[in-house]
Amino acid sequence: MTKPPTRIQQRNRAAILSAGLDVFSQFGFRGTTLDQIAEAAGLSKPNLLYYFASKEAIHAALLERLLETWLDPLKALDGAGDPVAEIMGYARRKLAMSRDYPRESRLFANEVLQGAPRIENILKNDLKALVDEKARIIKAWVDEGKIADIDPHHLIFSIWALTQHYADFDVQVRAVLGRDDPFDGAEEHVAKVIARTLQL
Domain-by-domain residue ranges, the chain? Answer: 7-64, 71-198
| Whether 41 contacts 59, CB under 8 Å | no
- The phi-psi region of residue 178 (left if phi > 0; otherwise alpha if psi is between -120 and 50; otherwise beta) is left
The residue-averaged pLDDT of 32-42 equals 96
Considering all CA atoms of the chain, what is the largest pairwise distance in Å, rounded to the nearest integer?
A: 62
Q: Look at the alpha carbons of 169, 175, 180, 186 in this order and tell me if their dihedral is positive or negative.
A: negative
- What pLDDT sits at residue 156? 97
Q: Which helix (H) or strand (E) holds 144?
A: none
- What pLDDT sits at residue 153? 98
The residue-averaged pLDDT of 66-87 equals 93
The residue-averaged pLDDT of 155-178 equals 94
- What pLDDT sits at residue 3? 76
Whether 35 shows a pLDDT value over 60: the answer reads: yes
Q: Count CA atoms closer than 13 A to 12's CA, side-chain side.
A: 16
Whether 2 shows a pLDDT value over 70: the answer reads: no
pTM of the model: 0.86
- What pLDDT sits at residue 78? 97
CA 108 → CA 35, 65, 118, 192, distances in Å?
22, 11, 11, 27
- What pLDDT sits at residue 4? 80
Whether 20 shows a pLDDT value over 80: the answer reads: yes
Whether 175 shows a pLDDT value over 80: the answer reads: yes
Whether 1 shows a pLDDT value over 60: the answer reads: no
- What pLDDT sits at residue 68? 77
CATH number of 7-64: 1.10.10.60
Whether 85 shows a pLDDT value over 90: the answer reads: yes
The residue-averaged pLDDT of 73-89 equals 96
Mean pLDDT score of the chain, rounded to an integer?
Answer: 93
CATH number of 71-198: 1.10.357.10
Whether 87 shows a pLDDT value over 80: the answer reads: yes
Instruction: Tell me whether domains 7-64 and 71-198 share a fold.
Output: no
Q: Is 147 helix (H, G, I), strand (E, B) or coil?
A: coil
Percent of the chain predicted with pLDDT > 90: 78
The residue-averaged pLDDT of 3-17 equals 91
CA dihedral angle for residue 75, residue 76, residue 79, residue 85, rounded to 10 degrees = -130
